[in-house]
């Protein structure tokens, strides 16, 4: 036990003190923050050059009143278009907007003209059209003698409010699904990254030990199983450290940078709306939504989700890292040669990742349910489902199966490992690995 502890300590300390680890651990949150700031600034960005636009309102649709925007000034003019165009440079306007008379109030299309030496930028284009559309609507309501209130009543926003079937179940709000999907997705992705990065790290490190021949010195002091476990636990602790630092630093950096750069959350909301599949919020409700989301976020059963997440994190990590260790022990000096051996491990991980993406959209589909129970997929799929409050028996079954499978795979890998690390110059196939399982010590 003492020796296992020594090995874990070395594996952990040599990694966390390495410059590359410190850089990756600190730079990743910074990169996140930078991305956040840049994205926020991009979405906040509107034309910063100020524009003055002359409006020739032939049909008097605007009734000579229009609100100026920041950086955008309108002026109604009576000068005719020809004069304006010919003396464009003298007038110091950036553009001339011509709104022709409305000939047919029933027309659903109306063309307005914008004269300028430069093309209107997209935001100016959108803003002008939006202004004219609103004004045109009022104009038509008046022309058609409609009742604005009746018109308003035609447009109904439908909200779907999920309600429990019996009184005991907790009442979910309309946001529960979206929040759960978000949390599930983040957890699933973290699991995927952890399994890959740290699993591969274990594999490479086993390989290095084998090719540098230190392994023979080591196992004359400790059992091969201790060496393998020490490495897996040590690297796993490195992973937990990194994820924990990220979990603390990323929110702090995002908070600090949003304060520093004055990015408000509505810009982020707009960003969210650009994402396909995100719920289509009405911008006016943004603030209420944020409050509701925070409420939802708090009401999730974190006392269950977090420990479960850590369990699946450890279970999945041990399961896959031990397999990677076994493969690493079988590889020779040639990385390329052994690469084919990693394929049987990476395929389930990648499959699980895709299933996870489907599972957050349909968390109770039979694919999601059975994948979150199947131990090769559950470490990635189940964390994604946790926020959707899956039935207890499913989680329990998944936990038991994963624990049993992880222990079995660690044992299995230990058997391969102890033979593999002493085997040199042999081309290793899966069949060969199978034989090693049954070697005596």
Partner 1 sequence: MKAYEKHVAVNDVSFEVPAGSIFGLLGPNGAGKTSLIRIITTITRADEGVVYLDGEKLNSRHPEEIGYMPEERGLYRKMKVGEHLTYLARLKGLSAKDAKSKISDWMEKFGIEDWWDKKVEELSKGMQQKIQFIATVVHEPKLLILDEPFSGLDPVNTNLIKDEIHSLRGKGMSIIFSTHRMEQVEEICEHIVLINKGENVLEGKVSAVKDRFKQNLFELEYEGELPEGLLEQATVIHQKPGRLTVQVAETAESNTLLRAMLDRGVFVKRFQEILPTLNEIFIRQVN
- Binding residues for partner 1 (CB under 8 A): 3, 6-7, 10, 14, 18, 209, 212-222, 422, 435, 439-441
| Residue 25 C-beta: closest distance to partner 1, Å | 18
The secondary element (H helix, E strand) that includes residue 321 is helix 302-330
Q: How far is CA 144 from the centre of its chain?
A: 49
Strand order from edge to edge, sheet including 113-115: 72-76, 51-57, 95-99, 113-115
DSSP class of residue 69 equals B
Closer CB to partner 1, 218 or 292, in the complex:
218
Closer CB to partner 1, 393 or 438, in the complex:
438
Closer CB to partner 1, 104 or 441, in the complex:
441
| Residue 426 C-beta: closest distance to partner 1, Å | 11
| Residue 214 C-beta: closest distance to partner 1, Å | 4
The secondary element (H helix, E strand) that includes residue 306 is helix 302-330
| Residue 213 C-beta: closest distance to partner 1, Å | 3
Closer CB to partner 1, 219 or 240, in the complex:
219
| Residue 56: strand, helix, or coil | strand
Rg from Cα positions in the chain? 31
Closest CA to 323 of 196, 432, 219: 196
Closer CB to partner 1, 226 or 268, in the complex:
226
Closer CB to partner 1, 15 or 131, in the complex:
15
Task: Give Cβ neighbours of residue 416 (< 8 Å, ≥ 6 apart).
Answer: 326, 329, 330, 433, 436, 437
| Residue 159 C-beta: closest distance to partner 1, Å | 60
Measured distance CA(73)–CA(189) in Å, rounded: 47
| Residue 322 C-beta: closest distance to partner 1, Å | 21
Measured distance CA(342)–CA(433) in Å, rounded: 13
| Residue 221 C-beta: closest distance to partner 1, Å | 4
The secondary element (H helix, E strand) that includes residue 42 is helix 19-44
Closer CB to partner 1, 220 or 275, in the complex:
220
Measured distance CA(332)–CA(33) in Å, rounded: 41
């Amino acid at each position: 036990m003492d020796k296992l502890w020594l090995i874990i300590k070395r594996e952990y300390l040599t990694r966390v003190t390495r410059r590359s680890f410190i850089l990756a651990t600190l730079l990743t949150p910074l990169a996140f923050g930078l991305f956040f700031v840049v994205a926020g600034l991009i979405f906040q960005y509107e034309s910063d050059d100020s524009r003055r636009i002359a409006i020739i309102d032939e049909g008097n649709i605007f009734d000579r009143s229009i609100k100026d925007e920041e950086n955008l000034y309108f002026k109604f003019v009576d000068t005719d278009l020809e004069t304006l165009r010919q003396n464009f440079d003298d007038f110091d306007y950036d553009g001339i907007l011509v709104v022709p008379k409305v000939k047919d109030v029933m027309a659903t299309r109306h063309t307005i003209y914008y004269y300028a030496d430069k093309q209107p930028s997209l935001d100016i284009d959108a803003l002008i059209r939006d202004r004219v559309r609103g004004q045109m609507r009022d104009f038509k309501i008046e022309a058609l003698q409609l009742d604005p209130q009746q018109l308003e009543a035609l447009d109904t926003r439908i909200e779907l409010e999920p309600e429990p079937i019996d009184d005991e179940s907790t009442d979910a709000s309309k946001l529960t699904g979206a929040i759960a999907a978000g949390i599930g997705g983040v957890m699933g992705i973290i699991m995927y990254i952890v399994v890959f990065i740290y699993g591969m790290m274990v594999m490479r490190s086993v390989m290095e030990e084998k090719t540098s021949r230190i392994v023979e010195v080591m196992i004359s002091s400790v059992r091969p199983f201790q060496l393998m476990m020490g490495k897996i636990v040590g690297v796993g602790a490195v992973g937990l450290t990194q994820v924990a630092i990220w979990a603390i630093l990323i929110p702090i950096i995002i908070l600090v940078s949003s304060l520093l750069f004055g990015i408000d959350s509505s810009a982020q909301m707009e960003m969210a709306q650009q994402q396909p599949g995100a719920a289509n919020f009405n911008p006016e409700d943004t603030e209420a939504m944020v409050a509701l989301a925070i409420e939802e976020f708090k009401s999730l059963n974190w006392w269950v989700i977090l420990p479960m997440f850590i369990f699946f994190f450890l279970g999945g990590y041990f399961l896959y890292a031990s397999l990677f260790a076994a493969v690493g022990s079988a590889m020779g000096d040639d990385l390329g040669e052994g690469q084919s051996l990693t394929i049987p491990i990476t395929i389930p991980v990648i499959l699980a990742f895709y299933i996870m993406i489907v599972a957050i959209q349909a968390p109770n589909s039979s694919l999601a349910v059975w994948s979150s129970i199947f131990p090769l997929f559950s470490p990635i799929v189940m964390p994604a489902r946790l926020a959707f409050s899956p039935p207890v028996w499913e989680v329990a079954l998944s936990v038991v199966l994963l624990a049993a499978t992880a222990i079995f795979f660690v044992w299995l890998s230990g058997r391969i490992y102890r033979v593999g690390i002493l085997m040199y110059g042999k081309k290793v196939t899966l069949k060969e690995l199978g034989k090693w399982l049954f070697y005596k010590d």
